[in-house]
């Protein structure tokens, strides 16, 4: 463990934080915490080899975009520690999972809880759709499909440099509808980029609703294998299964872990909103209060005062 | 007689890249068409084939640059911005990656028609923050484009000529400068790329007609030295004519128009180029005549500017360079 806490505790902590935030703000990316908490907790607490953070625990305000004149520009990668040959890198490919990723940074002691209060506030770097200057981010991934390609290029470059560190991508299953994802897998396989690993939150949800109703993607495990990756499918809420999947040999090929998840895991009342779970905004005060009570009970906390 | 140089990029890129291990040569299935086939064969460890998958190639190059490499992407210019525009902006331009985008077949230099002709790339690139834009107009500029592009701390869009290329200049590209090819006082002519050769063809006929031409050639389109252009604008009597292998919106014609308007000076401007139209497939000479990008079009533009006719016809212009569409240098011609 990279922290003194268990990964289960961290996953629970992520859900509690995201739940509190969504309750107070009357909406947010709540379902993503249901599906992805174990994956992000596992990455930060076990999977990734990271150094100590290099940026302030309380995020600084937005300091401007990259330009020739902006000499002090930096990304948010420092929350994942320094960049070094033996350390791992992580891209959050679906940048709308940022709220869950920020909650993870807090749970693993890399960002102050005050950072979450800055979420989506004007002038803040803790942006709703994670930008490269946002805590824990290193590149822009706001359009889906960019992450795996960029990571493949980085991993290839790092291999040339003799780095031992891995390049990891947290992905979402909606991204497999993008052609770029398949271009990235075929290129990573063709160039034998085996320092590239991805874990994908397969919650079968996308903005319009259930993926099967928006665009069928069929057997994505078989597709990844056919495109040349090593692909393992596990229960995304089973940490032992994720650990075993990460140990899967994949010499000469990228590793893609499909984490099959439940979009209302540990918040079962959200099933009422299925299949519109991409962004949960409460429809009435009655619903908000009811969900507050139910989810708080399930997560073992007091109802949120909002 | 103009010296013609065969495949200047092939020689120049290899010479440039071979001692620079952080330079990587990326290709998208147009390796010989971009004259890097010899490099691929002799330096396979520095060459990456990324297939016909430009979206991935752009983000992948961004990742390579994040690792400290300087990827030179080689493909037809049009394939580097139309389909993978989002990746170009998000993975390369925004984070100021040192990716060098070597775009071949600028404008009407290909018989491939609409899908192969990059006719609005400069307009697009000019509007992308952090982008630098260079355009080659002769063999010497092609020979120096790699050093010029690689001197920039950020992404660079390059319009590269290939095949048999005339040598017009004897000094390399100096980024940010413009070439003063003549210092007349009647009309300012501003050209770039292959259109500069056209303007040179018209030079002696215009001189014989008694017109004093001030001619600027632009290899650096962004960043642009507006002050220097204003000095030239103020030095001519009638105004300015621009000629470009590009649509007249957003290219160097627009650049000159913006400079005039920003400074509030009253100079007439005639913009020549593709006039809000796509081109079709055909030989370069045919297309330049058909769409008004050649020496004769420039003469007519100058006549319009000064309100006089000089009686110049095609036979008065210096001999056109005859170039077969399908030459020995490149069999397919695409």
The pLDDT tens digits for B269-280 are 999 999 999 999
Percent above pLDDT 90 for chain B: 93
CATH number, domain of A17, equals 3.40.50.970
pLDDT of residue B332: 64
pLDDT of residue A214: 95
Nearest CB to B90: which of A67, A140, A154? A140
Q: Of all helices (H) and strands (E), which one includes residue A232?
A: strand A230-235
The whole-angstrom distance between A290's CA and the closest CA on chain B is 41
pLDDT of residue B2: 84
pLDDT bucket at B326, cuts 50 / 70 / 90 = very low
pLDDT tens for each residue of B73-118? 999 999 999 999 999 999 999 999 999 999 999 999 999 999 999 9
Count how many domains chain A has. 1
Q: Which residue has the higher pLDDT, B283 or B331?
A: B283
Q: Which is nearest to A139 in space by CA: B63, B38, B242, B109?
A: B63
Interface residues of A toward B, Cβ cutoff 8 Å, are: 65-68, 75, 132, 138-140, 142-143, 145-146, 149-158, 160-161, 179-180, 183-184, 186-187, 190-191
pLDDT surpasses 60 at B156: yes
Residues 6+ apart with CB under 8 A from A292: A23, A303, A304, A306
Among A71, A132, A143, A150, the strongest candidate for a mutation testing the B interface, having the largest count of B CBs within 10 A, is A150
- Paired sense of beta strands B156-160 and A255-260, if any: unpaired
pLDDT surpasses 80 at B334: no
Pairwise CB contact (< 8 Å): A142 & B90: yes
pLDDT surpasses 60 at A202: yes
pLDDT of residue B318: 76
pTM for this one? 0.96
- Give domain status of residue A150, yes or no: yes
- Give domain status of residue A305, yes or no: no
**What mean pLDDT value characterizes chain B?**
95
pLDDT bucket at A185, cuts 50 / 70 / 90 = very high
Question: What is the rounded CA–CA span in Å between residue A151 and residue A139?
Answer: 10
For residue A65, what are its two tokens?
């975009």
pLDDT surpasses 80 at B323: no
pLDDT tens for each residue of A44-85? 999 999 999 999 999 999 999 999 999 999 999 999 999 999
Residues 6+ apart with CB under 8 A from B302: B187, B189, B206, B211, B213, B241, B270, B310
**Nearest residue on chain A to B66, alpha-carbon basis:** A154
pLDDT surpasses 80 at A266: yes
- Give domain status of residue A1, yes or no: no
- Give domain status of residue A67, yes or no: no
Helices B195-208, B295-306: axis angle to 10 degrees equals: 50
Q: Are A271 and A211 in contact (CB under 8 A)?
A: no
Domain boundaries for CATH 3.40.50.970 within chain B: 9-104+137-167
Q: Angle B139-B145-B148 (CA atoms, 0-180°, nearest 5)?
A: 140
Percent above pLDDT 70 for chain A: 100
Domain boundaries for CATH 3.40.50.920 within chain B: 179-316
pLDDT of residue B319: 66
**Per CATH, which fold does B179-316 belong to?**
Rossmann fold (3.40.50)
Question: What is the rounded CA–CA span in Å between residue B151 and residue A53?
Answer: 33
- Give domain status of residue A27, yes or no: yes
Q: Angle A160-A165-A166 (CA atoms, 0-180°, nearest 5)?
A: 95
Class of domain B9-104+137-167: alpha beta
Domain extent, residue A20, equals 7-57+74-299
pLDDT surpasses 60 at B241: yes
Question: What is the rounded CA–CA span in Å between residue A73 and residue A79?
Answer: 15
What is the CB-side half-sphere exposure of residue A184 using CA atoms within 13 A?
37
**Nearest residue on chain A to B26, alpha-carbon basis:** A153
The answer to whether residue B96 neighbours chain A at the CB level (below 8 Å) is: yes
**What mean pLDDT value characterizes chain A?**
97
Query: B62 contacts in A (CB within 8 Å)?
Result: 139, 149-150, 153
pLDDT bucket at B322, cuts 50 / 70 / 90 = very low
- Give domain status of residue A273, yes or no: yes
pLDDT tens for each residue of A110-164? 999 999 999 999 999 999 999 999 999 999 998 999 999 999 999 999 999 999 9
Looking at chain B, which runs of residues are DSSP E strands? 3-6, 23-27, 47-49, 70-76, 100-104, 132-135, 156-160, 164-167, 179-183, 187-192, 213-218, 220-222, 239-247, 268-274
């Amino acid at each position: 463990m990279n922290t003194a806490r268990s990964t289960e505790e961290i996953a629970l902590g992520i859900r509690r934080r995201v739940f509190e935030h969504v309750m107070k703000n009357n909406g947010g990316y709540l379902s993503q915490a249901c599906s992805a908490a174990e994956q992000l907790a596992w990455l930060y607490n076990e999977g990734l080899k990271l150094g100590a953070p290099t940026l302030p625990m309380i995020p600084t305000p937005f300091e401007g975009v990259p330009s020739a004149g902006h000499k002090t520009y930096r990304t948010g990668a420092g929350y994942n520690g320094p960049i070094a040959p033996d350390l791992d890198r992580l891209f959050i490919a679906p940048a709308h999972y940022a709220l869950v990723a920020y909650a993870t940074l807090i749970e693993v002691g890399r960002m102050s809880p005050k950072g979450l209060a800055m979420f989506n506030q004007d002038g803040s770097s803790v942006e709703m759709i994670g930008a490269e200057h946002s805590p824990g981010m290193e590149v822009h991934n706001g359009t889906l499909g960019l992450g795996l390609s960029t990571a493949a290029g980085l991993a290839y470059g790092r291999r040339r440099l003799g780095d031992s560190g891995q390049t990891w991508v947290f992905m979402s299953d909606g991204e497999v509808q993008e052609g770029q994802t398949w271009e990235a897998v075929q290129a990573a396989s063709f160039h034998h980029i085996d320092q590239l690993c991805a874990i994908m939150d397969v919650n079968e949800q996308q903005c319009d609703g259930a993926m099967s109703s928006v665009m069928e993607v069929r057997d994505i495990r078989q597709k990844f294998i056919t495109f040349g990756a090593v692909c393992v499918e596990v229960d995304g809420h089973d940490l032992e299964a994720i650990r075993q999947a990460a140990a899967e040999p994949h010499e000469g090929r990228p590793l893609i872990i499909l984490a099959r998840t439940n979009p209302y895991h540990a918040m079962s009342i959200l099933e009422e909103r299925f299949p519109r779970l991409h962004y949960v905004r409460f429809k009435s005060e009655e619903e908000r209060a009811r969900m507050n009570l139910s989810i708080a009970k399930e997560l073992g906390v007091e109802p949120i005062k909002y | 007689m103009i010296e013609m140089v065969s495949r200047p990029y092939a020689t120049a890129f290899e010479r440039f890249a071979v001692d620079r291990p952080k330079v990587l040569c990326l290709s998208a299935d147009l390796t010989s068409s971009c004259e890097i086939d010899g490099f691929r064969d002799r330096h396979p460890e520095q060459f990456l084939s990324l297939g016909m998958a430009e979206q991935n190639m752009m983000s992948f190059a961004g990742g390579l640059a994040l690792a400290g490499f300087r990827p030179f992407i080689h493909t037809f210019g049009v394939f580097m911005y139309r389909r993978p525009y989002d990746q170009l902006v998000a993975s390369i331009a925004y984070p100021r990656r040192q990716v060098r985008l070597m775009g071949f077949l600028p404008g009407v230099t290909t018989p491939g028609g609409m899908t192969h002709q990059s006719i609005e790339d400069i307009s697009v690139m000019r509007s992308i923050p952090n982008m630098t834009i260079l355009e080659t107009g002769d063999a010497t500029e092609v020979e120096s484009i790699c050093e010029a592009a690689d001197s920039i701390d950020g992404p660079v869009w390059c319009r590269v000529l290939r095949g048999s290329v005339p040598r017009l200049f004897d000094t390399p590209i100096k980024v940010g400068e413009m070439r003063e090819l003549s210092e007349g006082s009647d009309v300012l002519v501003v050209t770039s790329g292959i259109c500069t050769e056209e303007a040179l063809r018209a030079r002696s006929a215009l001189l014989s007609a008694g017109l004093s031409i001030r001619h600027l050639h632009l290899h650096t389109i962004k960043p642009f030295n507006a002050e220097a252009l204003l000095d030239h604008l103020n030095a001519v009597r009638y105004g300015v004519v621009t000629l470009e292998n590009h649509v007249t919106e957003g290219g160097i014609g627009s650049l000159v128009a913006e400079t005039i308007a920003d400074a509030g000076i009253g100079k007439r401007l005639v913009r020549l180029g593709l006039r809000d139209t796509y081109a079709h497939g055909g030989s370069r000479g045919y297309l330049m005549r058909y769409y008004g990008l050649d020496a004769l079009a420039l003469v007519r533009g100058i006549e319009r500017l000064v309100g006089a006719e000089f009686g110049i016809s095609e036979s008065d212009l210096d001999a056109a360079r005859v170039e077969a569409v399908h030459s020995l240098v490149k069999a397919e011609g695409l």
